Structure 1
Amino acid sequence: MVFILLAGAFLPIMDFFITNVALPSIDNSLHASASELELVIAGYGVAYAALLVLGGRLGDRYGRRRVFLGALIGFVAASAVCGIAPTVGVLIAARIVQGATAALLIPQVLATFHHTLEHERKARALALYGATSGIAAVVGQLVGGLLVSANIAGTSWRPIFLVNVPIGLIVLVVATRIVPDTRSEHPVGVDLPGTVLFAATLTALLVPLTEGHSLGWPWWTWAMIALAVVLGAITFVVERRAEQRGEIPLLPPSLLRLPSMSRGLVMVFAFSIGFGAFMFVFALTVQDGLHEDALHGGLAILPMAVLFLLGSLFAPRLIGRFGRAALSIGAVIQLTGLASLVAVVVHGWPNVSLWDMAVPLALSGAGQSMLFTGLFRSVLADVPTHLGGVGSGVLITLQQSGLALGVATLGTLYIARAEHNTAHAFATVEAVQIAIIALLAVGAAALPRFVSR
């Protein structure tokens, strides 16, 4: 049961990142602008983030197995549309639908773990989910590179989406037989005002950040950013008042005040900003900067993928033994790898080989696995079982919001600076990520002590 649910979660997570390595091919095929390419990534992320908590609530109320299977069918259908999209507009629209269905699917995985497993089995399943999330991100770019370079029947980038169809159908058939039908004994209502306000806030923030640079920052982009601030404040007030009336809002303030949530979510959000930006700019640096093809662009990330996988196998045991110190050590290892990677790129440019980057990427993947796994294990520690769907949705909402924000902000920064110097553009973005990881190395000490149990 655990592994088939993880397989269902793997596809939507992988799909956020598999597109990165195909961006140059999509550009050549559909004649997309730089901002449209960012929307192919960020559009998926916005829909994903905005509806995650709603997905958790629907599973709590109507049954997690039912919602999981229905969302998986929708995701497979949207993937098929992405794969045959005739224009970039259709591709962006289908990606938004993909993100929406992924948002309904993913919370059922964590909530089912939370409801059916106990103690060490639950901790192991949550750790495996954290590992699966990271592995899916890295493997996505590797598989994307292989599929694009294979150019199956002259279809170029399209198989990166079409591959979801047979895999998704297999998961669907198996899941109907072995996934238990669970739901909350005390389901909460759908917070429609909170859902709409949160979605509007994310959209008002990410659209101008994604489109602003390519359009020369017209007045409406600044107006939308100001609107996002106002909408964010209104969302906070509405959610607080809803909880005061005895309701459970989309983002419950009391849930967010739990030690594991309040500290862990900030760290997950910050980590995701840097990680989302890295995967986006690294793919462009290798292909557009070093002029490697999609296959080599995907293979370039292989050292990170291998060490992340190996690290994830040992991370739960190491975290159980050394507690928060393991997270800090992982952050330091990742920081060392990123700093070494920047040095290799800047000093060797433009004669940087993929072998030159292999060791720094391997270090980064090893440290990342420890940090990523520990953070996911930490956040849900204190969440009551009957709020498992809500807590899972909040966690992945912040993660996905961070990934989309990283692409929209640091990705835009990279595109602006890469027009003049690709190596320096990469170094600028990675300097921000290095600063984030350094703060996480210190911040791990503030996580609850349960991690060491």
Structure 2
Amino acid sequence: MTSQHPDRRRWFALAVVMTASLMDLVDVTIVNIAMPSIQQETGASFSALQWISAGYALAFAVGLITGGRLGDIYGRRRLFLLGIGGFTVASALCGLATGPDMLVAARVLQGAAGALMVPQVLSIIHAGFPAEERGKVFGLFGAMVGLGAVTGPLLGALLTEWDVAGLGWRPIFLVNLPVGVAGLVLGRIFIDESKAPQALRLDLVGMLLATAGLLMVLYPLTRGRELGWPLWGYALMAGGPVVLALFVRYERAKSRRDGSPLVELSLFRVRSFAAGIGVQLGHGTVCGVFFLVWTLYMQLGLGWSPLKSGLTGLPFSLAVSTAAGLSVQKLVPRFGRGVLRAGAVVMAAGSLLYLALAEWLGTGITPWQMALPLAVMGAGMGLIVAPLTDAVLSEVPREHAGSASGLINTVNQLGVALGLGLTSVLFFNVVDDAGPAGIADGRAFADAFGSSMWWVAGGLVLVFVLMGALPRHRPQPAADAAGAAAEPVRKDGEPALIG
């Protein structure tokens, strides 16, 4: 084996896991752009549309912590391949769905499979690359987020407009099949297996408590409007934090007893990790609100086609990609935490500019008039997404990479699910209040969009405040002795190339 061979295999493996992560990112944005088409063909209600996104986010959020720990215990390569296989099968079921109920069920399955696949991506990056290379890798990761933001809406719009083989919106899911199969084949070739260096056991009680606590908060929030906000929903939401508090107590006891908790609570003693988790939650909530209401505003409120809506989002997507690529490698080493805080300010400014233009121009607004505020919002988001991941993981020990990445993704998806649930209050309540006349001429959706954007801007102000708890600058990596001690190994005793 030549000296370059490990590096070459490592970067090939990185390409495989990033492609799988891109598939997940594209899938979310593709679904958003096709929502009105799904509604027209299937007769789905507003609640069903909400559940097509929220069902995925809920399953994803509640499964991510367990998915990350399963990778630590049973092998990250194994769980990655199992997740991408399940995601591919679920995508096929989404494409073959005969109605809204089947589509929602398939989306829940897709989210559960994604919860097995996605945590392994950050675990593989964190465990497979030394600290001095992670800035470059997370810069690539941020650029990939931007690529997903560009590709998803356009691909979804084109596939929906083209009506491939008379299938309407279905190809937005079926397009995952060749990507998923390729990921399975190439993953088996290039990714070497790795696990946590010490023996761990699956924490079933912790898994049940965490899942129950999250569902008790998120399920009634998402279905509350549809069911008329019943009393039991409020009771569940009040009981959710109690169950999560029991989960924390149990995890502390289990950590003392056998050292195999589902969540490594010692991670929260790492300031960068604890602060970053709070920022992830706030930013995820903002994104959950914005992306769904934005799509519904353009297509149902302004009457635009999926392709026109997708092209309108290009300035946003290109700005995200450009800013994300620059932020980690060029800006963060010089300005540190200030880059993330600037991102929150810029994104909030863009949202307020968008709000002002939407209210001034009404339903006569054009894509060109949206370009500037969208570009400003995208640049702000790009300054946040890539540096934030690096900031949260910067001081995490390698042996806890799976647990940490599972928590990062869980909190982000928890935020997205909260945002989707809040659309019931912030968006659909305004639409309902406008009555049939407002819905018919699009004014109801424009008003609901304006109401939601105030909350988006307010959420970004809160994110800015929380970012004040992040370290001013990224900690300098210590000599890699500790990392080497925790380096994953293959069955033959050689260091794993990745994973």
Please give the per-residue CA displacement for 1:65-113, whole angstroms capped at 9, x wherever unaligned.
1221121111101100000011211111111111111111111111111
Gaps of 5+ in 1: none
Q: Using the alignment, how far apart are the partners of 2:81 and 2:360 within structure 1?
A: 50
Q: Which residue is equivalent to 2:366?
A: 353
Q: Is the 8 A contact 1:36 1:88 kept in 2?
A: yes
- The counterpart of 2:214, out of the listed 202, 206, 218, is 202
CA contact (8 A) 2:338 2:472 kept: no
Q: In the alignment, is residue 176 of structure 1 matched against residue 188 of structure 2? A: yes
Q: Pick the structure with greater CA Rg.
A: 2
Kindly indicate whether residue 391 of structure 2 is the aligned counterpart of residue 378 of structure 1.
Answer: yes
> Which aligned pairs between 1:293-304 and structure 2 lie closer than 5 A?
293-304=305-316
Between stretches 372-381 and 127-136, larger displacement belongs to 127-136
1:434 to 437, 454, 457: 457
The aligned counterpart of 1:37 is 49
User: Comparing 110-119 with 216-225, which one deviates more in the overlay?
Assistant: 216-225
Deviation, 1:35, is 1.3
Residue 413 of structure 1: how far off its partner (Å) = 2.1
Kept in 2: contact 1:48–1:100 (CA 8 A): yes
Alpha-carbon separation, structure 2, partners of 1:3 and 1:107:
16
Letter in 1 for 2:470: L
Contact 2:138 2:387 in 1 (8 A): no
Structure-2 separation of matches of 1:253 and 1:390? 10
Aligned to 1:343: 356
Aligned pairs for 1:262-341 (under 5 A) are 262-316=274-328, 317-341=330-354
Aligned pairs for 1:5-404 (under 5 A) are 5-133=17-145, 135-137=147-149, 139-316=151-328, 317-404=330-417
Aligned length: 453
1:448 aligns with 2:471: yes
SS at 1:448 equivalent: coil
Deviation, 1:134, is 5.1
Q: Which residue type is aligned with residue 164 of structure 1?
A: N
The alpha carbon displacement at 1:277 in A equals: 1.0
Contact 2:142-2:325 at 8 Å conserved across structures: no
Aligned partners of 1:299 and 1:45: how far apart in 2?
Answer: 25
Query: Structure 1 residue 163: deviation in Å?
Result: 0.3
CA contact (8 A) 2:143 2:322 kept: no
Q: Tell me how far 1:452 sits from its aligned partner.
A: 7.3
Deviation at 1:396, TM superposition (A): 0.5
Structure 2 gaps of 5+ residues are 1-12, 435-443, 477-499
User: Could you list the per-position Cα deviations for residues 375-407 of structure 1 after superposition, in whole angstroms to 9, with x for gaps in the alignment?
Assistant: 111001111111111111111010111111111
Q: Secondary structure at the match of 1:19?
A: helix
**Superposition CA RMSD, Å:** 1.8
Q: Percent identity?
A: 36
User: d(CA) in 2 for partners of 1:383 and 1:302?
Assistant: 35
CA displacement at 1:436 relative to structure 2? 2.1
Please say which of residues 375-384 and 14-23 is displaced more in the overlay.
14-23
- Cα 1:164–1:363 change in 2 (3 A) is same
Contact 2:394–2:475 at 8 Å: present in 1 too? no
Worse overlay, 375-384 or 60-69: 60-69
Q: Which runs of 4+ in 1 moved over 3 A?
A: none
Instruction: Report the Cα offset of residue 180 of structure 1.
Output: 2.4
1:129 CA displacement: 2.6
On the 8 A contact 1:148/1:157 being kept in 2, the answer is yes
Q: What pairs with 1:405-420 in structure 2 (closer than 5 Å)?
A: 405-419=418-432, 420=434
Within 1, Cα distance between the matches of 2:458 and 2:411?
19
Gap change, CA 1:187 and 1:89, over 3 Å in 2: farther
8 Å Cα contact 1:130-1:377 kept in structure 2? no
Distance 1:50 1:329 in 2: 31
1:422 aligns with 2:445: yes
**Cα pair 1:323 1:449 within 8 Å, conserved:** yes
8 Å CA contact 1:115, 1:182 repeated in 2? no
The one-letter code of the counterpart of 2:466 is G
**Alpha-carbon distance in structure 1 between the residues aligned to 2:285 and 2:145:** 15
Distance in 2, Cα, partners of 1:312 & 1:411:
31
Q: Deviations over 1:52-77 (max 9, x none)?
A: 12111221122211221121111101
- Tell whether the 8 Å contact from 2:200 to 2:260 is kept in structure 1 after alignment: yes
Q: Is the 8 A contact 1:270 1:436 kept in 2?
A: yes
Following superposition, the deviation at residue 127 of structure 1 comes to 3.6
Q: Hey, what's the Cα distance between the residues in 1 that align with 2:287 and 2:150?
A: 10
Between the aligned partners of 1:433 and 1:77, the Cα distance in structure 2 is: 35
